[in-house]
Amino acid sequence: MQTQRFLVTGGSQGIGAAIVAAARQAGHQVVFTGRNQAQMAAVATTTGAHGVTADVAVDADNARTVETCVSVMGGIDVLINNAGTGYSAEIGALDVDRMRQLFGINVFGMVDLTNRVVPLMKAQASGDIVNLASTSGTKGAKGGTAYSGSKWAVRGISQCWQAELRPHGIRVVSICPSEVQTNWMGKTGRNNPNKLYAEDIAATIMAGLSMPRRVLWTELAIFANNPWKED
């Protein structure tokens, strides 16, 4: 794959940071966003990527992020919509305001940013948009109204964008990881060496991007091969 210009949201930790590292190791230019300045500085120092302090749920931040990409890299070839948050609660005890905040990040923030990036990609008649959904968006689960609902929305929106953007040479793929060993929702006791790592998701995404332009993965669920194995 020739040198590309990446924008990665939520790139200061977890899957996002792994994607930033993988893209930089492959020789690509990368701008990434995040909110934790200490974590962002660490990623920028380690990878050489350009960090932008921004909240995807804030329209003005998204505008500034795109402006930075144009200024620093001259445009955007690959958009990785990775920024996301979680919230679990059963119906009857659901904090609807928290659900609105979650959708503001997981859904509306993704849409607003992509809405600003797509005109650039259409003008160059090429681009890749990778939306991080989840296997939680393929099935319902107890407490999943907010988070699973948002990831169902990501999958459906991705399908709409595929129908709209394929004629413009722009590929859109929805990636659905299973449980990944990251500090998700502040939980640190989830590690199991046989489950997925953030680097596994990054490697899968990079493999998909390197496929011939005529090839489109519309959606891909990623599971650990044997997470039940006992070492």
Query: With left for phi above 0 and alpha for psi between -120 and 50, is residue 20 left, alpha or beta?
Result: alpha
Token pair belonging to 58: 């804030």
Comparing CA positions, the residue from 54, 50, 10, 56 lying closest to residue 30 is 50
Residue 65 lies in a domain: yes
Average pLDDT over residues 76-105: 97
Mean pLDDT of all residues belonging to the chain:
94
Residue 84 — pLDDT band, cuts 50, 70, 90?
very high
> For the whole model, what pTM was predicted?
0.94
Residue 105 lies in a domain: yes
Residue 95 lies in a domain: yes
pLDDT given at position 189: 47
Report the distance separating Cα 230 and Cα 171, nearest Å: 39
Residue 122 lies in a domain: yes
Residue 52 lies in a domain: yes
Residue 228 lies in a domain: no
Report the distance separating Cα 179 and Cα 186, nearest Å: 14
The range of the structural domain enclosing residue 135 comes to 5-222
What CATH code is carried by the domain that includes residue 66? Answer: 3.40.50.720
Tell me, yes or no, if 147 is annotated catalytic: yes
CA dihedral of 56, 57, 59, 60, whole degrees rounded to 10: -70
Report the distance separating Cα 6 and Cα 11, nearest Å: 11
Residue 229 lies in a domain: no
pLDDT given at position 205: 98
The Cβ of residue 71 has, within 10 Å, a number of other Cβ atoms equal to 10
C-alpha distances (whole Å) from 44 to each of 53, 100, 181 are 12, 31, 22
Residue 193 — pLDDT band, cuts 50, 70, 90?
confident
Token pair belonging to 42: 């660490």
**Cα-based angle 175, 25, 135 (whole degrees, multiple of 5):** 15
Cα torsion angle, 134, 135, 141, 145, sign: positive
pLDDT given at position 64: 98
Q: What percent of the chain has pLDDT over 70?
A: 94
- Taking only the tens place, the pLDDT of each residue in 104-163 is 999 999 999 999 999 999 999 999 999 999 999 999 899 999 999 999 999 999 999 999
Token pair belonging to 13: 């930790």
Residue 192 — pLDDT band, cuts 50, 70, 90?
confident
Which residue spans within the chain are E strands per DSSP? 5-8, 29-34, 50-53, 78-81, 127-132, 170-177, 219-222
Average pLDDT over residues 186-206: 81
Residue 179 — pLDDT band, cuts 50, 70, 90?
confident
Residue where the block lists tokens 């690959």: 78
- Identified catalytic residue from 32, 103, 147, 152: 147
pLDDT given at position 13: 94
User: Residue 98 in 3-state DSSP?
Assistant: helix
Strands 78-81 and 29-34 turn out to be unpaired
Average pLDDT over residues 169-183: 90
- Taking only the tens place, the pLDDT of each residue in 29-57 is 999 999 999 999 999 999 999 999 999 99
Residue 230 lies in a domain: no
Number of structural domains in the chain = 1
pLDDT at 184 over 80: no
Average pLDDT over residues 156-182: 95
pLDDT given at position 230: 59
Instruction: Name, in order, each residue with C-beta under 8 angstroms of 161's C-beta and a sequence gap of 6 or more.
Output: 114, 129, 172
